[in-house]
Chain A
């Protein structure tokens, strides 16, 4: 079954404790993105990747890192989480550029930073 898998689905952590949210897709998609969803703000793009070893900042990259060492994986790293990063995070992937393709979303990771 074609899918985008995020782990964990729920995470509670404390300020400053490094964490990684994993994202994996089994569709051989080239493009992958991370979004955060906050009430009243919709989804905002954090980072995106156009292919292995090619990443770029989205609209709200501060406090986040990503890597794309393999095509299927696109982990989101919070080196020193802060309470303002409490949010719902979604990973998404697509075959190619968004001007030609649609995105497929993961189930989301709800993160609370205390």
Chain B
């Protein structure tokens, strides 16, 4: 069965620090990968996605993620975080050609930024 692991449940950083949130998935076939962000009190918004092509994906607000197929990973990065990045971040995986309407979410990583 497919699964998604986000290793860090809660990350606390100071402003301007660099960020890397881990995401690993278990599925041997072709996948689509997503990072969603949920700001306090708001709904989920797409941060970035990988369907195919360049494994280094750039998203909104300066975020990027790198798909490393050999490691089954899709880690999220940002070189310098801001207080407004305080949110919960979800990694998600869709197994292409397996079940087009099923997407598996990780348990989320709460990011707190100290001003």
Taking beta carbons and an 8 Å cutoff, which residues of A are in contact with B?
31, 33, 35, 40-45, 48, 50, 56, 58-59, 90, 92, 96-100, 102-103, 105-108
Contact = CB atoms under 8 A, between A and B. Distances in A.
Contacts, number: 62
A40 B105 contact: no
A45 B103 contact: yes
Looking at A31, A45, A97, A100, the one whose CB has the most chain B CB atoms below 10 A away is A97
Contact of B45 (A35, A45, A48, A105): A105
A99 B90 contact: no
A107 B42 contact: yes
Interface string B82-115: 0000000010101011001111011110000000
B19 to A, nearest CB: 19
B9 A42 contact: no
A48 B44 contact: no
A82 B101 CA distance: 27
A34 B90 CA distance: 16
B45 A102 contact: no
8 contacts: A35-B105, A42-B105, A42-B108, A48-B101, A56-B101, A97-B100, A100-B100, A102-B34
Interface string B25-50: 00000001010100000111110010
